[in-house]
Amino acid sequence: MKTMGLQQWLMLFVLSVLWGGSFFFMKVALGELPVFTIVLLRVSLAALMLYLFLKVTKVAIPTDLKVWRLFFYLGFFNNIVPFALIIYGMSEIASGLASIINATTPLFTIVVAHFATADEKMSFNKVLGVMLGILGVSLLMGSEVFAGASQSIVAMMACLAAALSYAISSLFGRQFKALQVSSSVGAFGQVFASSLLLLPIVFIFEQPWALQMPSMMTLLSVLALGILSTALAYVLYFKLIEQAGATNAVLVTLLVPLSAIMLGWLVLDEQLQFNHFLGMLSIGFGLLAIDGRVLKKLHA
C-alpha cells in the first residue's frame, strides 16, 4: 500500500473541503432553484471545465460506442440519481447530516462488490466496518424514528439511496481500466452524458426559463458547485489516486462530513443533535476498520 506524504495529505484535506462544501452550495441553491435544474447546472458546468482541461492537456476524447455507453451508465448512477436524491434530502434535513449519511458510500460499496465481483470479497475488517457503519446509520436515524418525523425519515432514506447508487456506479467504473480509459476522460464522459440525460427532464418538468432570476448568492453557489465541487474535485481526486492509491484517496470520506458540518454551522446556522455526532463517530470507526491499517497496528 502506498504511503502519503505532506503533499498528498494536503490534497486530501482540500478535496474534503471541496466535497464538503458541495452540501453547503446545494443547500443555498435549493432555496431558489428546483432539484434537477441544480443538478443540470452542476454537471454541465463540470463537463465544460473538464473538456477545457482535456484540451489544454491534449488528452484525446474516445469515440468508441462501448465507452460512451459506459459513460451514460455512470452518468445515471454516479451523477443524476445521487445528486438529485441528495438535493431532495437536503430540502428536509441539515446539509451536515446529509453529508454524514453520504459517508456510508464505502460501506454500500463493500456489500455490492462482495456479491457482484470475484476479487473484492469481504474480509473481517470489512465486515467490522460494515457493522459499525450500520450502527452509525441507526444512531443517525434513531431520534427521528421515535419522534415520528416521517418527512425527515424519507429525506434520510433518499440520502441512503444516493449512497447505494454511488456503490453501483463503482462497479461500472471498474471497467475503465479494461477499456483503457483514463480517469480524467472518464470524469468528463460521465458528467457530459449526465448533462445530455438531464436536458429533456429539466425542460419538460421544471422549465427553468420561467423562474425568476436567482440571487447573486445562488448563482455563485451554482458556479462553485460545478467548477469547484465537481470539476476541480474530480481532477484532484484522480490525481490523488494516481499518487497515493485508491485506498488512501477514499479516506477523504472521513473528512467530508466534518467539512460539511463546519460550513453548515458557520454559514447556515444549522444544528445537529447528539445522536448525529455519535452516528458520525461510529461511521468514522467503520471506515477506519475498512481501511485496515489501525487494526494491523493494534495486532502488531
Cβ partners under 8 Å of residue 190, min gap 6: 71, 74, 75, 78, 79
Checking if the pLDDT of 2 tops 70, the result is no
Q: Give residue limits of the domains in the chain.
A: 6-299
What integer best gives the mean pLDDT of the chain?
81
pLDDT digits (tens, 9 = 90+) for 64-123: 999 999 999 988 998 889 888 988 888 788 766 777 787 788 788 778 888 887 776 777
8 Å CB contact between 252 and 53: no
The pLDDT, as a whole number, for residue 104 is: 81
Q: What is the DSSP string of 209-233?
A: GGSPPPPHHHHHHHHIIIIIIIIIH
- pLDDT mean over 252-264: 71
- List phi, psi (to 5°) of 269: 55, 40
- In this prediction the pTM is 0.77
- Residue 237's identity, in one-letter code, is Y
pLDDT digits (tens, 9 = 90+) for 134-182: 787 777 666 554 454 455 788 889 999 998 998 888 778 777 777 888 8
Radius of gyration of the chain (CA): 19
